[in-house]
């Protein structure tokens, strides 16, 4: 029996101790009519060897691709040590550190992670993580509404924030009577346009870089939010913080809350997760922050130790009045992130950021030299760039795919006003040869399609 150690003798002895004659007797309180029959859709169990073979076949079917898609999830090198240590049973198979004395490993690690995140973001406090970047942004919006002194239930959301993240935010907050007002962007610069008459709002979301890779004027946006009585909610790519200004230093007094996607810090792309959302804030707002928080304290002998703290905010104490229904963090992925930030250090993270940026710039220069390809925006970008094609984006991406290249994220559905636009990302993992290959293939595809347009009747 897979993962059940009982021998027939064990079962008989245990039933005797209980005073039952069969295992079925133990279910005698369940009305007979409710008992289910055989599970029709569950296949027969297989040995580990057979399942291994099956999964290897499926993995091989998916294969490897030369990936130039970013859009919130970034392909960075992950040091081998990280997941070897992270999947040690003591981390992998432990639970939420309720028994602090028996969980000092996880608790200290989270405290170190919180410290690293405050240093990256330039804010005072960090929680132990949330589910992912999109849901962390939704929680930041809820937090801003709780913390806002003017009791406004309106939050300003630039359209330059990841389109799916915006959907997640709306799905999360809409039942609480919170309005998400979207802000347009300038199609020449790719930067958010601040309205002249914003009305009252609890917070302004400020992405840096924004979904297009464009640098927003975060200083002006932060000050503008504060001038109008709202909180400044930063959402950032953590890798960029090695070289871009920390949200705590934005504008005159800094952003108030920062939330984002932690995936670039050691989590594999893995079709979407698990990743983790990070959240940091100024000291004034700590008690409004959702999720687990670890604090340092002392034990009975005065020796330093770590424990979950500020639990009075949480659902198991506050029930319907809690700051959020969240119980878990993404502990295991944060275990990886703390090691990633330690292994890279300030020097390594800056090199990852610079190399990604340099590679993106090099590729953008190569691609925009091709007839029919141009940059969409004139503004400075970091690590990612929007290119406009004079041909149908989905067809071009499909043709690149036939050459093993995932050429970028198709923006036409979310941003039809940009025409045939794709969002292209290059990280430090790509070589000059990879960039050459992309450029050569794109040039070939575009010129071939120009010379011999595909038949309109052929799909």
Smallest distance, another protein to C-beta of residue 314, A: 8
Which one of 156, 307, 386, 422 is in contact with another protein (CB under 8 A)?
307
Evaluated on CA atoms 108, 110, 111, 116, the torsion sign reads positive
* Span near another protein by CB under 8 A; candidates 78-86, 180-188, 192-200, 446-454: 78-86
Which one of 171, 181, 371, 378 is in contact with another protein (CB under 8 A)?
171
For another protein, the closer of residues 125 and 376 by Cβ is: 125
Q: What is the C-alpha separation between 45 and 349, in angstroms, rounded?
A: 45
Strands of the sheet with 421-425, listed across from one edge? 373-375, 384-389, 421-425, 409-410
* Span near another protein by CB under 8 A; candidates 179-187, 194-202, 290-298, 437-445: 290-298
For another protein, the closer of residues 114 and 152 by Cβ is: 114
- Per DSSP, the three-state class of 5 is coil
Smallest distance, another protein to C-beta of residue 197, A: 27
Which one of 322, 403, 412, 437 is in contact with another protein (CB under 8 A)?
322
Contact status: 321 vs another protein (CB under 8 A):
yes
Pairing of strands 257-261, 277-281: antiparallel
Residues 24-63 that bind another protein (CB under 8 A): 26-31, 34-36, 38-46, 48, 51-52, 54-63
Measuring CA to CA, how many Å separate 109 from each of 48, 116, 213, 305, 360? 33, 11, 32, 12, 34
Residue 157's DSSP bridge partners are: 182
Residues 115-134 that bind another protein (CB under 8 A): 115-116, 118-120, 124-126, 128-129, 131-134
Nearest CA to 236 out of 169, 293, 162 is that of 162
Q: Strand (E) positions, 117-214?
A: 125-126, 154-158, 179-183, 203-208
Smallest distance, another protein to C-beta of residue 194, A: 17
Smallest distance, another protein to C-beta of residue 454, A: 18
Q: What is the C-alpha separation between 231 and 155, in angstroms, rounded?
A: 9
For another protein, the closer of residues 148 and 357 by Cβ is: 357
Smallest distance, another protein to C-beta of residue 202, A: 17
Look at the block and give the residue holding tokens 């915006």. 166
Which one of 8, 19, 150, 416 is in contact with another protein (CB under 8 A)?
19
What is the C-alpha R_g of the chain?
A: 26
Contact status: 21 vs another protein (CB under 8 A):
no
Smallest distance, another protein to C-beta of residue 256, A: 16
* Span near another protein by CB under 8 A; candidates 6-14, 195-203, 224-232, 443-451: 6-14
Smallest distance, another protein to C-beta of residue 154, A: 16
Site string for another protein, 438-457 (x = CB under 8 A): --------------------
188 in Cβ contact with 377 (< 8 Å): yes
Contact status: 226 vs another protein (CB under 8 A):
no
For another protein, the closer of residues 194 and 406 by Cβ is: 406
Pairing of strands 405-406, 66-67: parallel
Measuring CA to CA, how many Å separate 365 from each of 20, 359, 424, 434, 436? 77, 10, 12, 14, 11
User: Other C-beta atoms within 10 Å of 267: how many?
Assistant: 27
77 in Cβ contact with 429 (< 8 Å): yes
Which one of 237, 335, 420, 441 is in contact with another protein (CB under 8 A)?
335
For another protein, the closer of residues 75 and 198 by Cβ is: 75
Which one of 189, 288, 309, 368 is in contact with another protein (CB under 8 A)?
309
b/e per residue 128-140 (b: at least 16 CB within 10 A) = bbbbbbbbbbbbb
Kindly state the number of chain residues that form the binding site for another protein, as judged by CB under 8 A. Answer: 198
Contact status: 160 vs another protein (CB under 8 A):
no
Measuring CA to CA, how many Å separate 339 from each of 272, 314, 353? 21, 28, 17
Residues 173-202 that bind another protein (CB under 8 A): 175-177
Contact status: 69 vs another protein (CB under 8 A):
yes
| Tokens encoding 311 | 């639990």
Contact status: 237 vs another protein (CB under 8 A):
no
Long-range contacts of 312-316 (CB under 8 A, 24+ apart): 313/287, 313/288, 313/289
Which one of 229, 348, 372, 419 is in contact with another protein (CB under 8 A)?
348
* Span near another protein by CB under 8 A; candidates 144-152, 184-192, 225-233, 307-315: 307-315
**What residues contact residue 174 under an 8 Å CB cut-off, 6+ apart?**
none
Contact status: 365 vs another protein (CB under 8 A):
no
User: Other C-beta atoms within 10 Å of 194: how many?
Assistant: 17
| Tokens encoding 239 | 């890798």
Contact status: 294 vs another protein (CB under 8 A):
yes
33: exposed, middle or buried (Cβ count in 10 Å: 0-12, 13-18, 19+): exposed
Smallest distance, another protein to C-beta of residue 236, A: 12
* Span near another protein by CB under 8 A; candidates 147-155, 186-194, 221-229, 359-367: 359-367
């Amino acid at each position: 029996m897979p993962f059940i150690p009982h021998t027939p003798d064990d079962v008989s002895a245990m039933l005797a101790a209980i005073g039952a004659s069969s295992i079925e007797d133990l279910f005698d309180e369940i009305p007979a009519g409710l008992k289910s029959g055989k599970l029709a859709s569950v296949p027969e169990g297989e040995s580990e060897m057979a399942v291994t073979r099956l999964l290897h076949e499926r993995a091989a079917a998916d294969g490897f691709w030369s990936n130039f898609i970013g859009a919130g999830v970034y392909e960075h090198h992950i040091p081998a040590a990280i997941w070897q240590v992270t999947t040690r049973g003591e981390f992998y198979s432990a639970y939420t550190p309720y028994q602090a004395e028996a969980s000092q490993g996880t608790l200290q690690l989270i405290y170190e992670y919180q410290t690293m995140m405050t240093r990256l973001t330039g804010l005072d406090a960090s929680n132990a993580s949330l589910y992912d970047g999109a849901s962390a942004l939704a929680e930041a919006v809820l937090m801003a509404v709780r913390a806002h002194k003017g009791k406004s239930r309106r939050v300003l959301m630039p359209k330059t924030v990841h389109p799916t993240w915006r959907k997640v935010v709306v799905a999360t907050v809409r039942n609480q009577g919170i309005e998400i007002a979207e802000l347009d962007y300038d199609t020449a610069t790719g930067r958010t346009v601040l309205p002249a008459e914003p009305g009252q709002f609890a917070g302004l979301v400020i992405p840096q870089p924004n979904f297009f890779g464009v640098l927003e004027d975060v200083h002006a946006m932060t000050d503008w939010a504060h001038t109008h009585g709202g909180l400044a909610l930063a959402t950032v790519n953590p890798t960029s913080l090695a070289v871009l200004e920390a949200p705590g230093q934005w504008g005159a007094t800094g952003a108030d809350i920062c939330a984002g996607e932690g995936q670039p810090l050691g989590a594999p792309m893995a079709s979407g997760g698990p990743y983790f959302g990070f959240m940091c804030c100024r000291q004034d707002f700590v008690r409004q922050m959702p999720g687990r928080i670890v604090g340092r304290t002392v034990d009975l002998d005065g020796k330093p130790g770590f424990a979950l703290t500020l639990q009075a905010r949480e659902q198991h104490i506050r029930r319907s009045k809690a700051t959020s229904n969240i119980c878990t963090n993404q502990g295991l992925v944060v275990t990886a992130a703390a090691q990633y930030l330690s292994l890279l250090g300030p020097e390594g993270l800056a090199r990852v950021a610079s190399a990604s940026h340099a590679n993106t710039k090099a590729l953008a220069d190569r691609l925009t030299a091709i007839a029919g390809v141009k940059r969409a925006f004139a503004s400075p970008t970091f690590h990612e760039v929007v290119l406009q094609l004079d041909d149908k984006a989905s067809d071009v991406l499909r043709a690149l795919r036939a050459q093993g290249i995932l050429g970028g994220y198709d923006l036409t559905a979310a941003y039809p006003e940009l025409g045939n636009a794709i969002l292209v990302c290059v990280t430090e993992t790509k070589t000059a040869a990879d960039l050459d290959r992309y450029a050569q293939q794109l040039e070939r595809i575009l010129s071939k399609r120009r010379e011999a347009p595909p038949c309109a009747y052929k799909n």
